[in-house]
Structure 1
Amino acid sequence: MKKKICIIYTGGTIGMEETAYGYAPAPGYMKKTLGSMQELKDPEIPDYDLIEYSPLLDSSNITVDNWNQIGADIRERYFDYDGFVVMHGTDTMAYTASALSFMLQGLSKPVILTGSQIPLCKVRNDARENLITSMMIAADYGIPEVCIYFGGKLIRGNRSTKVSSDTMIAFDSPNYEPLAEAGVNITINQKQIRREARELNFCPFTNNQIAVLKIFPGIQFEIFENIMTDKLKGIVIEAFGAGNIPQNDDSMLRMLQKAKENGTYIIVCTQCHRGTATIGKYETSKNLAEAGALCGFDMTVEAAVTKLYYLLSRHQEEREIKLLMETDIRGELTRDA
């Protein structure tokens, strides 16, 4: 029997039309375009159903509610299809892929996010290859993970980050090898694939206040003290190198102390494209350790943020959240990196 997949079209460059004001999404355009693509009539291409969101979303406007909507749509149709392709704008695709990886526990089918830098309406584009290969992998390769396919590589969703705004290779997986590469043939890296022998469990996210703070030379921490209220549930700090922050004045200590008193979770990631954060490796991270900060190891910021959303949505116990934040639960981190 021919395989069948579900395509969820949320918006993004891939389906935009050219207008007098620049590229813009157009309701109904994707259905018409897919119907006219001769490539999709080839026997190698699976059958598909298309779900088009209304309104179509610029990925810059994606919210937690939209993540929940995508996850719920997959959960509702999970047993009707062999796999899922989510067409999505590139700007926040890594966040959505990371969120879905935590939200959809126990996957046994592929969920592949893709998009493009140049829309389908242009003669020269990357959209066709990204879409066609995503459809083939979703139908026939049995990779039970949330992934991004882009620019010839299939990468784990919660290891992904956007690295370019104007080249065809827009995404990278800095600390984890690709799950597959598409050249003349599609080559699967089986040892990199994570498999869970469980039934699907869908956990929608609750809206919690989470902040991201990128450290830079000369940062004045007192600017951020006012956000350290008991409503702020977590802050992800993008630190220097292996998890270092400045120790020039007391304002940073006051900020960290306020976060600790309010029960705000502090997660430390590295700004470096590759490598890991290790709190306590250098003296300049000792204040983070004293404030009870959690180590993000080699997690991307996208994974750290969405993982914290997941843990706050599912767990109430502080001890359990702290333990799981530093534990690999979906292939998102390597403790010994």
Structure 2
Amino acid sequence: MKRKVLLIYTGGTIGMEKDYETGSLRAFDFGNIFEKMPEMKLMECKVFVHPFAKPLDSSDMGPEEWKIIARYIHKNYHEYDGFLILHGTDTMSYTASALSFMLKGLKKPVIMTGSQLPIGDLRTDAKENLLTSLYYASLYEGDEAVIQEVAIYFEYKLLRGNRTLKYSAEYFDAYASPNYPILGQSGVHLNIIKENLFRCKMQEDFHIDEHISGDVLFWRIFPGMNFNHFRDIPKMKVLILQVFGSGTIFSSEGTQEILQEIRNNGTEIIVVSQCISGGISFGKYENSNVFAKIGAISGKDMTAESAITKAMHLIDNPRYPGKFSDYFSKSLCGEITN
């Protein structure tokens, strides 16, 4: 029996081709993908294509588009064995992270991929990314899907979606998962590292939770910044501070006072690291103690993309009664190393 994969094309470089008259890139009709890539007809799975009515640059992908994707997967969940989402590379890690929190009780593969060069380019990375992603999206052992999470496949590596970040705009090997090992790697053989795969411990049927709040602010700390500017920031539900190393911040006079003012206004403060690898450890250095004193939340080894989308999902979400900090500090779908 051939597995059925639903390919959702949202936009991005992978769906572009060059207009040889103007030299510029334009989106081609993704409904004709089988003509562009006849190799897809040789796949051991059946591929069905659903393109966005208007392909979007990844910089235009946000909460409303995340909801559209989640709803479409929910609508078709029982009709298909796996899902492949083609997406622009710049914000793919945000979408992958958001979907990982929104898709509850997921027992089927949701694979995301894109490319650095258009699919019509002679040197494109699009074809390999697309074809191998289809293999992963249709990979089953008996009646059970091998992959049961949101993952990104790019340049021969399968990565947990909410652990990824885009670290290169230049190289084909554009994504990294610095704090979690790869899920699989393609070469002569299609390899899966089963002990790294996520399995939902909750016994629940698949459903979606669309709750996304925009009441989040992300701020990168830098040497010499005027911390008094925080007093001019309008009140928000969550402030995410990207700080130095394992959780340090300058000990200038008034730092704790200003942060405490923000907390007293009802704002949750989350701390993540500017380092690509590693995480937050309050108390390791004296200049991190201020965060423990004001009741800030450690982002541990989460990526900034995952911390942002997780906070957006949890804020005022009626499905998560109780303290925001308790839920944020808990690994919901493999986004934190326990």
Shorter-chain TM-score above 0.5 = yes
Indicate the residue corresponding to 2:204 in structure 1. 198
Contact 1:279 1:288 in 2 (8 A): yes
Give the distance between the partners of 1:140 and 1:285, measured in 2 at CA: 45
Distance 1:58 1:2, change over 3 A: same
Q: Is the 8 A contact 1:159 1:176 kept in 2?
A: yes
Cα deviation, residue 198, structure 1: 2.8
Relative to structure 1, the CA distance from residue 318 to residue 290 in structure 2 (aligned partners, 3 Å threshold; closer, same or farther) is farther
CA distance in 1, matches of 2:333, 2:167: 22
| Partner residue in 1 for 2:317 | 314
Instruction: Using the TM superposition, give the Cα deviation of residue 253 of structure 1 relative to its aligned residue in structure 2, in angstroms.
Output: 3.1
Q: Which residue of 2 aligns with 1:67?
A: 66
Choose 126-135 or 33-42, whichever is displaced more. 33-42
Task: Give secondary structure in 1 for the equivalent of 2:138.
Answer: helix
**Alignment RMSD, CA only?**
1.6
- The worse-fitting range, judged by mean Cα deviation, of 270-279 and 14-23 is 14-23
Alpha-carbon deviation of 1:65?
Answer: 0.8
Aligned in 2, Cα 1:279/1:318: closer, same or farther, shift over 3 Å? farther
Distance 1:22 1:289 in 2: 52
Displacement of 1:63 in angstroms is 1.5
Of 174, 181, 184, which residue of structure 2 is paired with 1:180? Answer: 184
CA distance in 2, matches of 1:304, 1:120: 32
Shift of residue 318, structure 1, vs aligned partner: 7.6
**C-alpha separation between the residues in 1 aligned to 2:40 and 2:84?**
14
Partner of residue 253, structure 1: 256
Measured after TM superposition, the shift of residue 22 of structure 1 is 2.7
Call closer, same or farther: CA 1:294–1:319 in 2, change over 3 Å.
farther
> What amino acid sits opposite 1:310 in the alignment?
H
Report the identity percentage: 40
The answer to whether the Cα contact below 8 Å between 1:299 and 1:332 also exists between their aligned partners in 2 is yes
Quick check: 1:206–1:313 contact (8 Å CA) kept in 2?
A: no
- The equivalent of 1:326 in structure 2 is 329
Q: 2:290 aligns with which of 280, 283, 287?
A: 287
Distance 1:159 1:322 in 2: 20
Distance in 2 between the 1:21 and 1:305 partners?
37
User: CA separation in 1, counterparts of 2:257 and 2:234?
Assistant: 10
CA spacing shift, 1:317–1:118, aligned 2, 3 Å: closer
> 2:45 maps to which residue?
46
Map Cα deviations across residues 20-77 of structure 1 (whole Å, 9 max, x no partner): 2632334x2x2213334221111x3311111111221111111211111111111111
- 283, 300, 305: which one pairs with 1:302? 305
- The residue that corresponds to 1:33 in the other structure is 33
Partner of 1:6: 6
Deviates more, 1:321-330 or 1:147-156: 321-330
Aligned to 1:57: 56
Distance in 1 (CA, whole Å) between partners of 2:204 and 2:319 is 23
Total equivalences in the alignment = 329
> Are 1:114 and 1:131, in contact at CA under 8 Å, matched by a contact in 2?
yes
Instruction: Return the alpha-carbon distance in structure 2 between the equivalents of residues 320 and 201 of structure 1.
Output: 23
